């Protein structure tokens, strides 16, 4: 088994999600945050051993394996471009990205591993999958085929007293 930690860049590190990611990564020996990126130049350059960078300094961040981006649409393009340029993985939960940005994601997906989702909640993902399956199953109208027969039989069955 490979015990080499995965090197992470956390983009949007000062935000609610970014802070949660930093906390979780610190608890996992197989993860190493090598860069935390925020919008403006950070007040402290190194926090808990993690180098911090401004968005404008993105090109100078050290080597990383995967960038995790929970920022704003304004910050989305440079971090996606950096991952594509360096051949790194890209995970993003940033919402509100434009059609142009979604097209850039699709193009980048041919070159780097990436995942973008507007909701990373497991429950929501399962619910969306179930709704999709139900929509497919009901597409041709179950009610027009088997349902009326079942209904008729039930109606004829004597009601127990
Ligand atoms: N997919 C999901 O399941 C999920 C769940 C929760 C949130 N989200 C989305 O994730 C994003 C972050 O949410 P949040 O609640 O953590 O927001 P937040 O607390 O407002 O944090 C935003 C972060 O983005 C940084 N940022 C803003 N503009 C930037 C830019 N131009 N370049 C680089 N970094 C920039 C901010 O840095 P500064 O502090 O320097 O401004 C901050 O670190 C939002 O798009 C939100 O909708 C998605």
Paired tokens of 84: 């594509």
Question: Is the minimum distance from the CB of 40 to ligand 1 under 6 angstroms?
Answer: yes
Going residue by residue through the chain, which has 161 residues, state the pLDDT in tens, using 9 for 90 and above. Answer: 688 999 999 999 999 999 999 999 999 999 999 999 999 999 999 999 999 999 999 999 999 999 999 999 999 999 999 999 999 999 999 999 999 999 999 999 999 999 999 999 999 999 999 999 999 999 876 554 444 444 444 444 444 54
Question: Is the minimum distance from the CB of 117 to ligand 1 under 6 angstroms?
Answer: yes
Domains of the chain as residue ranges with CATH: 6-120 (3.40.50.720), 123-156 (no CATH)
Distance 119 CA to ligand 1 centre (A): 13
How far is residue 94's CA from residue 116's CA, in Å, rounded to a whole number?
A: 8
Strand partners, 47: 50
Atom of ligand 1 nearest to the CA of 19: 16
Query: What is the side-by-side strand order in the sheet with 50-54?
Result: 46-47, 50-54, 31-38, 6-11, 66-69, 89-92, 114-116
């Amino acid at each position: 088994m490979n015990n080499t930690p995965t090197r992470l860049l956390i983009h949007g590190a000062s935000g609610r999600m970014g802070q949660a990611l930093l906390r979780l990564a610190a608890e996992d020996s197989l993860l190493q945050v090598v860069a935390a990126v925020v919008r403006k130049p950070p007040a402290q350059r190194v926090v808990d051993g993690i180098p911090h960078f401004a968005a404008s300094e993105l090109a100078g961040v050290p080597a990383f394996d995967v960038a995790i981006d929970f920022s704003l649409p304004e910050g989305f393009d440079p971090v996606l471009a950096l991952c594509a340029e360096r051949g790194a993985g890209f995970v993003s939960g940033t919402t509100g990205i434009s059609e142009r940005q979604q097209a850039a994601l699709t193009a980048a997906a041919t070159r780097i591993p990436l995942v973008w989702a507007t909701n990373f909640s497991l429950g929501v993902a399962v619910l969306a999958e179930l709704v999709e399956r139900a929509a497919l199953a009901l597409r041709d109208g179950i009610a027009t085929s088997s349902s009326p027969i079942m209904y008729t039989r039930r109606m004829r069955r004597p009601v127990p007293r």
